[in-house]
């Protein structure tokens, strides 16, 4: 069923070298799965009975660069440049990247979950230690023999995620596999977690706390960037994993009280996430982690800020500001990098701003401030604000979307007239100090802020006009 044509020539040559040296080499894991799914693998993963030093020696004979990505754990990587590569520029499309790992037979120390590595001597033991049957198929090379000891192919056809061995044992060996299950629900789209495997995750969910935050974060990131993040998040919550990793998320399922008919914030958040994903082609051009996180977390401040007013009206006063604070805490705890943390929090903080525009319409100053405060986040803020409209009321949702069209058009017009993206006071700090005879001080900062506000309110003015206003401001505050 497989032919050599499905495997790049260079890979066959590499496998030949292993065979000549008396070793077995198997293409394995996601690389084999992706051949069946007709997806392009980023790189090729192999397993072998050669020990790391021997692997490295053979790899040096084939690859242009070889690097040690974890020799202790048995893994050596290499890149073979595309044939016609002319300079040192990477050629990501054509270069062949491989990672070769000695057969695993690792055991865990039972506490830290760090594998205590011991190398195995056969493919069967290696495949047992893989996460799911669809990731536990192998192709022996160079002769291309398919090895499928756990019926991965039939699970692949049925779109099922199932552990190759008893799930309780597999998840005890490495609880991260539970997170991987829910992330594959998103990245492989349309896959379901097989019943026994699912029940085992529900039972063992608390074990995820033994895994480092960084490893969990990597899987959560892949989940969010996958093809069906909403389904992935549902499984993350339904299995109970989120109760340990991100408890603020199930907390959005506020008890729905028919008398107060407020929306279920959790269901709303998932819908916003989906709508944000659907708006990506227009606003980000690619799957965007920051937008997706903001879609999921934008109302995270609601449970704690909920108040019941007169007539049973529900209010979430300042949930945007509080939500931004909570978002920072959550994403920092999950070890996201500081740019991601701050940008997602900023989107959460700004997500209600547009409603001021709806109510009153803004002056040019209001539009300038919106653009200024959003900064480089503006396209994502557009997408998030539009995605946040989930009302069933067609008239209301049309009204919101026309108002947003209007706002975007005004931004375009103002942009044509002024350099909106780099709004600065007309006079810079040096000029302010010269005019007011000041040394660097707090007062210079206040003068700067005065001129920035003026710039927002009035648009562009001449330096002379700004100087006059500055002197007036200065004498006014000196007389106070």
By CB under 6 A, name the binding residues for ligand ATP.
Answer: 29-30, 45, 130-131, 135, 174, 176-177, 187, 222
**C-alpha dist (Å) from residue 225 to 134, 292, 293, 294:** 20, 8, 10, 13
Beta-strand relationship, 96-102 and 44-48: parallel
Question: Which of Mg ion, ligand ATP, none binds 162 (CB below 5-8 Å, type-dependent)?
Answer: none
Cα separation, 445 vs 443, in Å, equals 5
Min CB(30)–Mg ion separation in Å: 4
Q: Which does 274 bind (CB under 5 to 8 A by kind): ligand ATP, Mg ion, none?
A: none
Taking the complex as a whole, the smallest distance from the CB of residue 202 to ligand ATP amounts, in Å, to 19
| 256 torsion bin: left (phi>0), alpha (psi -120 to 50), beta (else) | beta
Instruction: Tell me how far, at minimum, the Cβ of 4 lies from ligand ATP, in Å.
Output: 22
197 binds, among Mg ion, ligand ATP, none (CB under 5 to 8 A by kind): none
Q: How far is the CB of 31 from ligand ATP (least distance, A)?
A: 7
Strands annotated E in 203-349: 306-308, 314-316
State in angstroms the smallest separation of the CB of 119 from Mg ion: 21
Contact between 167 and Mg ion per CB under 5 A: no
Q: How many whole angstroms separate alpha carbon 10 and alpha carbon 83? A: 10
Q: How far apart are CA 465 and CA 473, in angstroms?
A: 12
Nearer to ligand ATP, 222 or 328 (CB): 222
Whole-number minimum distance, CB 94 to ligand ATP, in Å?
A: 20
Q: Whose CB is nearest to ligand ATP?
A: 30
Give the interface segment with Mg ion, choosing from 26-34, 119-127, 215-223, 308-316 (CB under 5 A).
26-34
Cα(287)–Cα(277) distance, integer angstroms? 7
Q: Which of 114, 131, 130 is nearest to 212 (CA)?
A: 114
Helical H segments across 300-377, by residue range: 302-305, 319-333, 338-350, 354-360, 364-374
Rounded CA-CA distance 449/423 in Å is: 12
135 binds, among Mg ion, ligand ATP, none (CB under 5 to 8 A by kind): ligand ATP
**Euclidean distance between CA atoms 328 and 345, whole angstroms:** 6
Residue 48's nearest CA partner among 84, 75, 10, 68 is 75
**Residue choice 10, 14, 30, 323 for contact with Mg ion (CB under 5 A):** 30
Query: Residue 155 binds which one of Mg ion, ligand ATP, none, with CB within 5 to 8 A depending on kind?
Result: none
Of the pair 153, 358, the CB lying nearest ligand ATP is at 153
Q: Closer to Mg ion at the Cβ: 30 or 152?
A: 30
Q: Minimum distance from CB of 176 to ligand ATP (Å)?
A: 5
Window contacting Mg ion (CB under 5 A); options: 27-35, 400-408, 409-417, 433-441: 27-35
Tell me the window of 23-31, 167-175, 281-289, 354-362 that interacts with Mg ion (CB under 5 A): 23-31
Shortest distance in whole angstroms from residue 249 CB to ligand ATP: 23
Residue 284 touches which of Mg ion, ligand ATP, none (CB < 5 to 8 A by kind)? none
| CA dist., res. 445 & res. 211, Å (int) | 47
Nearest-angstrom CA–CA distance, 140 and 24: 7
**Residue nearer to ligand ATP on the CB measure, 176 or 324:** 176
Q: Kindly state the smallest distance separating residue 32's Cβ from ligand ATP, in Å.
A: 8
Q: Which stretch binds Mg ion (CB under 5 A): 28-36, 117-125, 293-301, 407-415?
A: 28-36
Q: What b/e string do you get for 436-475 counting C-beta neighbours within 10 Å, with b at 16 or more? A: beeeeeeebeebbebbeebbbeeeeeeeeebbebbeebbe
C-beta of 146 vs 308, nearer to ligand ATP: 146
Q: Are the beta carbons of 69 and 97 closer than 8 angstroms?
A: no
Residue 387 CB, shortest distance to ligand ATP, in Å, is: 26
Q: Please, which residue, 222 or 382, has the CB nearer to ligand ATP?
A: 222
Identify what 176 binds: Mg ion, ligand ATP, none; CB under 5 to 8 Å per kind.
ligand ATP
Distance CA 188, CA 200 (A): 21
Distance CA 169, CA 107 (A): 12
Residue 130 interacts, among Mg ion, ligand ATP, none and using kind-specific CB cut-offs from 5 to 8 Å, with: ligand ATP
Q: How far is CA 472 from the centre of its chain?
A: 50
Q: Which is nearer to ligand ATP, 56 or 131 (CB)?
A: 131
Residue 241: HSE in the Cβ half-sphere, 13 Å Cα cutoff: 27
Question: How distant, in Å, are the alpha carbons of 28, 136, 165, 169 from that of 156?
Answer: 15, 11, 17, 22
Stretch that binds Mg ion, among 24-32, 117-125, 264-272, 432-440 (CB under 5 A): 24-32
Q: Please, what is the minimum distance in Å from the beta carbon of residue 411 to ligand ATP? A: 38
Which residues bind to Mg ion, rule: CB under 5 A?
A: 30
């Amino acid at each position: 069923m497989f032919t050599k044509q499905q495997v790049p020539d260079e890979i066959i040559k590499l496998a030949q070298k292993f065979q000549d040296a008396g070793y077995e080499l198997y293409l394995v894991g996601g690389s084999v799965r992706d051949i069946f799914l007709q997806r392009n693998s980023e790189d090729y993963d192999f397993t072998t009975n050669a020990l790391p030093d021997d692997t490295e020696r053979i790899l040096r004979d084939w690859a242009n660069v070889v690097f040690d990505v974890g020799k202790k754990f048995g893994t050596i990587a290499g890149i073979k440049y595309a044939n016609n590569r002319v300079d040192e520029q990477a050629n990501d499309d054509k270069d062949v990247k491989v990672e070769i790992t000695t057969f695993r037979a690792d055991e865990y120390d039972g506490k830290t979950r760090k594998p205590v590595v011991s190398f195995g001597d056969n493919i069967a033991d290696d495949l047992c230690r893989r996460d799911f049957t669809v990731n536990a198929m192998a192709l022996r090379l160079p002769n291309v023999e398919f090895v499928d000891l756990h019926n991965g192919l039939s699970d692949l056809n049925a779109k099922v995620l199932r552990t190759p061995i008893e799930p309780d044992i597999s998840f005890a060996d490495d609880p991260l596999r539970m997170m991987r299950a829910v992330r594959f629900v998103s990245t492989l789209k349309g896959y379901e977690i097989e019943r026994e495997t699912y029940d085992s995750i529900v039972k063992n969910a608390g074990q995820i706390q033994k895994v480092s935050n960084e490893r969990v974060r990597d899987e959560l990131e892949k989940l969010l960037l996958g093809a069906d993040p909403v389904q992935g998040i549902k499984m993350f919550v339904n299995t109970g994993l989120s109760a340990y990793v991100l408890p603020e998320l199930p907390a959005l399922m506020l008890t729905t009280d028919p008398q107060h008919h407020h929306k279920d914030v959790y269901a709303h958040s998932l819908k916003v996430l989906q709508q944000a994903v659907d708006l990506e082609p227009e606003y980000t051009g690619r799957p965007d982690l920051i937008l997706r996180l903001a879609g999921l977390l934008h109302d995270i401040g609601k449970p704690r800020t909920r108040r019941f007013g007169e007539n049973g009206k529900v209010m979430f006063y300042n949930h945007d500001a509080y939500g931004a604070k909570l978002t920072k805490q959550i994403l920092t705890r999950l070890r996201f990098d500081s740019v991601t943390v701050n940008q997602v929090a900023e989107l959460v903080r700004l997500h209600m701003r547009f409603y001021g525009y709806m109510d009153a319409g803004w002056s040019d100053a209001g539009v300038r401030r919106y653009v200024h405060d959003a900064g480089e986040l503006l396209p994502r803020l557009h997408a998030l604000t539009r995605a946040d409209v989930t009302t069933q009321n067609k008239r209301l949702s049309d009204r919101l979307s026309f108002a947003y069209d209007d706002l975007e058009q005004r931004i375009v017009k103002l942009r044509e007239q002024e350099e909106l993206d780099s709004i600065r006071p007309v006079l810079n700090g040096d000029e302010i100090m010269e005019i007011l005879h000041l040394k660097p001080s707090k007062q210079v900062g206040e003068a700067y802020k005065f001129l920035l506000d003026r710039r927002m309110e009035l648009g562009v003015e001449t330096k002379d006009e700004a100087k006059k206003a500055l002197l007036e401001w200065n004498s006014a505050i000196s007389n106070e």
